[in-house]
Amino acid sequence: MSASTRIAGKDLKLRLRDRSAFIIGIVTPLALAYIFHLVFGNVFATETLDLQIGMVDLDDTEISRSLGEVLAEIEAQGILEITEFDDAEAADAAVEQGDVGAYILLGPGVGAAALEGSPFTIQVVGDIDAQTTTQVATSIASEFGSGIGRAQLSVATAVHLGEGPPPDDVVTWGEEAAQRPSAYTFSDVSAETRQLDASTFFAAGMAVFFLLFTVQFGVLGVLEERENGTLARLLAAPIGRRSVVVGKALLSFALGVTSMTVLIVATYFLMEARWGPPLGVAVLVIAGVLAATSIMGLIASVGKSAEGAANLGAIVAVTLGMLGGTFFPIGQGDDLLSRLTYITPHAWFMRGLSEISGGAEWTAALPSAGALLVIALVLGTFAWFALERRLSR
């Protein structure tokens, strides 16, 4: 056993004895994740997973029936649940009772107006408390209306060119075109729009947020050794200065990986968090723990005392946690905040998890893990030299 592992083993014994690492690394994040899950989990679930949409077809033409076919296709994918109503009164009652969040109404004459190229109206009626469902219904209706508009344009162009297709063919083309336009992208898999479910989001958010607090029990130990007077004794021993730094980093790594693993397993069973392929999660956890250790190593190298460094570490952890979207999702647009979020390991961890939790291969986590490793390498290099220099004073 090397001197580094002996130092890490001694520190682990001390940490287990005072229980601080157990409380900060496992109990607190697990409790907070569970509380957030209980408070916010249902809100997330209603809005994202339980889309009940109704349809009222008072026109009953080929064109109006084509909307029903499109909705049936979407329903078959498990994204929506469609209920057909005979009239608007029945649909209104269903909305009132909460049986559906919204319904789409095709009034009489929509099909004829479409064929004639005249304006027509598609109504969407939604429950004010089911805004996401209403938004989805509006998008479907709008896309269907646009499809009919494109069909009208095709038919009008063909007639205007006077190339002589029979009028019956024109009607057929129009109907076919109207039936085809559906470009609904419910299964969008781009990173920009993919989101974790509520349970996984809170579990992962709290786990990675508290990771920085957990790893500080290792690397900040250098300062504690100095204050305890034991650093001189370690440096006088025939072990080499690097062994002290490596020993502390080893403990940080071990505590970080252990706490993350326990949290992942616990939230999987307790909160039904869907973390994704184990290999991908493991890669993200290892890279994330290395990045967190480097950040805290850097703080240890500039801290004047263990307490001061712990306070600075807490400020950094909270700032990076907020910026990295561990408490609430940060938008992923082009604004400054969205760009700043990617200086944090938290954002990369959450992004990597988003990539793999939806059923993708574990390799989808590699870009985010790579970014985490770059953070670990850059900050870790600074921390290494700064700590070594500090031990030489």
Cβ-based nearer residue to other proteins, 226 or 274: 226
- Please say which residue, 230 or 319, places its beta carbon nearer to other proteins: 230
Query: Is the Cβ of residue 63 or residue 234 nearer to other proteins in the bound state?
Result: 234
Q: How far is the CB of 389 from other proteins (least distance, A)?
A: 12
Distance CA 197, CA 275 (A): 10
Q: How far is the CB of 349 from other proteins (least distance, A)?
A: 33
* Closer to other proteins by Cβ: residue 119 or 238: 238
Residue 358: CB minimum distance to other proteins, A: 46
> How many residues in total does the chain contain?
393
> Measured between alpha carbons, how far is 10 from 18 in angstroms, rounded to an integer?
13
What number of helices (H) and strands (E) belong to the chain? 17, 4
CA triplet 374, 307, 240: central angle to 5 degrees? 60
Residues that bind other proteins (CB under 8 A): 1, 3, 6, 10, 13-14, 17-18, 228-230, 232-241, 392
Q: Which is nearer to other proteins, 9 or 358 (CB)?
A: 9
Strand 122-126 and strand 52-57: the pairing is unpaired
From the centroid of its chain, how far is CA 139?
23
CB of residue 229 to other proteins, shortest distance in Å = 3
Strand arrangement of the beta sheet that strand 122-126 belongs to: 81-85, 52-57, 102-106, 122-126
CB of 313 to other proteins, least distance (A): 21
Radius of gyration for the alpha carbons in the chain, expressed in angstroms and rounded: 29
User: Does the CA dihedral 242-245-248-252 come out positive or negative?
Assistant: negative
What's the CA gap between 365 and 354, in Å, rounded?
9
Is the Cβ of residue 126 or residue 221 nearer to other proteins in the bound state? 221
Closer residue to other proteins in complex, CB, 94/234: 234
User: Running DSSP on this structure, what letter comes out for residue 124?
Assistant: E
**Alpha-carbon distance 318 to 131, whole Å?**
32
Tokens of 76: 């078959």
Residues with Cβ within 8 Å of 257's Cβ and at least 6 positions away in sequence, in order, are 285, 286, 289
In SS3 terms, 196-228 reads as CCHHHHHHHHHHHHHHHHHHHHHHCHHHHHHHH
Residue 342 three-state SS: helix
Tell me how far, at minimum, the Cβ of 254 lies from other proteins, in Å: 17
Q: How many CB atoms lie within 10 A of CB 304?
A: 9
Q: Please report, in angstroms and rounded to a whole number, the separation of the first and last CA atoms in the chain.
A: 28
Q: How far is the CB of 393 from other proteins (least distance, A)?
A: 8
Nearest CB to other proteins, comparing residues 9 and 117: 9
Structure tokens at 239: 């072990």
Q: State the nearest-atom distance from the C-beta of 242 to other proteins, in Å.
A: 10
Of 199, 234, 250, 252, nearest to 21 by C-alpha is: 252
Q: What is the nearest approach in angstroms of other proteins to the Cβ of residue 13?
A: 7
Nearer to other proteins, 121 or 228 (CB): 228
Q: What type of residue sits at position 214? A: T
Name the minimum Å distance from CB 5 to other proteins. Answer: 10
**CB nearer to other proteins: pick between 56 and 254:** 254
